[in-house]
Amino acid sequence: MSDNSTSGEARSALGGDAALAHAQPDGFARRSLLRRLMDVVALPSSRGNIQDRAIAGDLLLEILLESDVSARELCARRLQEMSQAPKRLLRFLALDVPHVAQLILADNRAFDDADLCHIVAHGGTPHRVAVANRRDIGPAVASAIADTGDAVAMKALLDNPQSRLSDRSVELMVSASREAPSLPPLLIQREEVRPAHALAMFWWAAAPERKQILIRFSAERTLLIDMCGDIFRYANDGMDPVVRKALQVIERRQRDRAAIDRSPHASLEEALEAASVAGITPETTLDLAALSGVKATTAERIFQDVGGEGVAVLCKATGLKRPYLRYLWLALGRDVAGADFARVSEVYETIAVAKAQTVLRYWNWSLSSAFSPEALAGAGDDVDDATGFARDLRTMDAGRARSYGR
């Protein structure tokens, strides 16, 4: 049918409704015009030119602005699959009350990333969730959702297997996961998550997620050792500190043999046996950290962690036998007969030595790295601001701390 014929039909219909309006209440004309304009807007491109539909869309939008929710819902139902409808009209409906917006946002393919980002920024949680549930959500929209800090919408985004996450969106969601326990289990299943994200999230994740993080995101460093092994021959006291710090992540040996000369104990094992009786003090923390080849701040974070899985990582990475995991647990004042020790013991048995070393070294490196999980996640866990050992460590002689620190 030609465009002229279509226009004639529309005029005839409008004329008939106008005639009826004389005998009807004032709202009849508005409802009739609303329906006719929806008819024009919903016409396929083969039956109506784009200019006519655009003008009809502007008129329809003006009426909807002054109409009740039922009228807007009627329009949304009519246009929910009309991808060629005017974008301004669709954006208006997409930001309407949730049940109206859902009709448009569920599957209308008219929206590009810019439209969806606008809806995410200006809508509420129901609108963001509706966007997050759409098919083929791209990195730009994922970043917009994560940037809102809306944990409910982020959960919907992570639950959507067809969403594609940007690195920035992952960083934002890792940061948000500190206060949103529902996010870590979903984040660690995503292929976009990297060790920097997961090993930062470890500290506030629940026990099942911690175990998965240690299994999935640890590595044996075989490739790094093979490719960078020849650099170790240049290692010396005057080495570039940036290089030295990087090599400490890569090298095979975990314990610091030189620390034995500065320690009151002959070995890490002996130090742990003594600590199991006397308990952990700031001095003990420094000593155990040095013997383990990590910074005192790294050891403190592990010792203060409520979950305790980090203790298993430290023991396995330093080659300690099973009894010494028990000694360290006792030194920390914890119950070796409880369920927590059983869970931590299972982690100790599960993780390989090389992988435990990688995790421990990465934690140790990240605490003083410009690019680190702490910075990515916005963790803000400045150990100097913590209570307990950190405050005591801060007051200790700086020279002694440097002699123990690695």
Tens digit of pLDDT per residue, the chain (406 long)?
444 444 444 444 444 454 444 444 457 888 899 999 998 988 877 676 788 888 999 999 999 999 999 999 999 999 998 888 899 999 999 999 999 999 999 989 999 999 999 999 999 999 999 999 999 899 999 999 999 999 999 999 999 999 999 999 999 999 999 999 999 999 999 999 998 899 989 999 999 999 999 988 877 666 776 677 667 666 665 566 777 667 666 676 787 788 888 999 999 999 999 999 999 999 999 999 999 999 999 999 999 999 999 999 999 999 999 999 999 999 999 999 989 999 999 999 999 998 999 899 888 888 766 455 444 444 444 433 333 333 443 444 344 333 334 3
Token pair in block for residue 187: 């984040």
> Is 128 part of a structural domain of the chain?
yes
Q: Do both 29 and 151 map to the same domain?
A: yes
Annotate 36-97 with DSSP letters as a single string.
HHHHHHTS-TTTS-HHHHHHHHHHHHHHHHTS-HHHHHHHHHHHTT-TTS-HHHHHHHHTSS
How many domains would you assign to the chain?
Answer: 2
> Is 285 part of a structural domain of the chain?
yes
Burial level of 373, CB count in 10 A (0-12/13-18/19+)? buried
What pLDDT shows up at residue 83? 87
What pLDDT shows up at residue 210? 95
Asked if 8 and 47 touch (Cβ cutoff 8 Å), the reply is no
Question: Which residue range is the domain that position 362 belongs to?
Answer: 257-404
What pLDDT shows up at residue 383? 38
> Is 129 part of a structural domain of the chain?
yes
Q: Do both 18 and 152 map to the same domain?
A: yes
What pLDDT shows up at residue 365? 83
Of the residues 119, 143, 160, the one at which a domain ends = 160
Q: Do both 155 and 8 map to the same domain?
A: yes
> Is 208 part of a structural domain of the chain?
no
3 state SS of 205:
coil
Interaxial angle between packed helices 3-21 and 26-41, expressed in degrees from 0 to 180 and rounded to the nearest 10: 170
pTM for this structure?
0.77
What pLDDT shows up at residue 235? 64
Q: Do both 146 and 283 map to the same domain?
A: no
What pLDDT shows up at residue 43? 82
What pLDDT shows up at residue 252? 67
Q: Do both 378 and 266 map to the same domain?
A: yes
Token pair in block for residue 65: 């602005």
